[in-house]
Amino acid sequence: MDISWQKILVSVAALVFAGFLLWKSRPRLPLPRFRRRSRLVAKRSPEAIKEQIRSAREQARRATTPGDRAKSLVLAAEAAAEAEGGLTSAMGLYLRAMRADATSCDPILGIAALLRKERPELLESVLWRRLAHLPFSGETAPVAKCTIETLAHLYRRELRHRDRARALQKLLAKF
């Protein structure tokens, strides 16, 4: 078998191209992601977490204003995020807080912190749905701006869609 410099050059180019394709598609690879918890932070007992969730939900039921209800639901979601396997319930509580008060940015920041590393595609979907239901003027303009900023940050960092991030930054400049 005759190995010429042309065959070696083509083989190296194919290898470099395959490496580039793997590098470019790395956010979509199903790699395992582990949560790191600091050993220095004292873990609360599951009973204490459940009690905090229960009391925050009770406060949300008794709330008289949408803002108070949303704050209580955000507190419950933060406690649920601490619980083992509480990602789904925390996400549900954040979504309820978004529906409760359309003028609060706290649920958007909370769900972004919850899903940014583990489920960025799901976070992208949630943020786009939120933008679809928000008017960009009036009392909800700051929330729309907060949502667009979060989405641009997600595109810039986790999903690596720089062109989408730039387009959203231009939209933010118009606000």
Using one digit for the tens of pLDDT, what is the confidence trace for 90-115? 999 999 999 999 999 999 999 999 99
Contacts of 29 (CB under 8 A, 6+ apart): 22
In this prediction, residue 135 carries a pLDDT of 87
Task: Provide the token pair at 131.
Answer: 């933008």
In this prediction, residue 30 carries a pLDDT of 57
Q: Break the chain into its structural domains and give their ranges.
A: 43-173
Record: fold of 43-173? 1.25.40
For the segment 49-74, what is each residue's pLDDT rounded down to a tens digit? 899 999 999 999 999 999 999 999 99
Q: What confidence tier does 39 reach under pLDDT thresholds 50, 70, 90? A: very low
How far apart, in Å, are the Cα atoms of 54 and each of 42, 50, 80, 81?
21, 6, 10, 14
How far apart, in Å, are the Cα atoms of 66 and each of 98, 101, 125?
10, 5, 24
In this prediction, residue 94 carries a pLDDT of 95
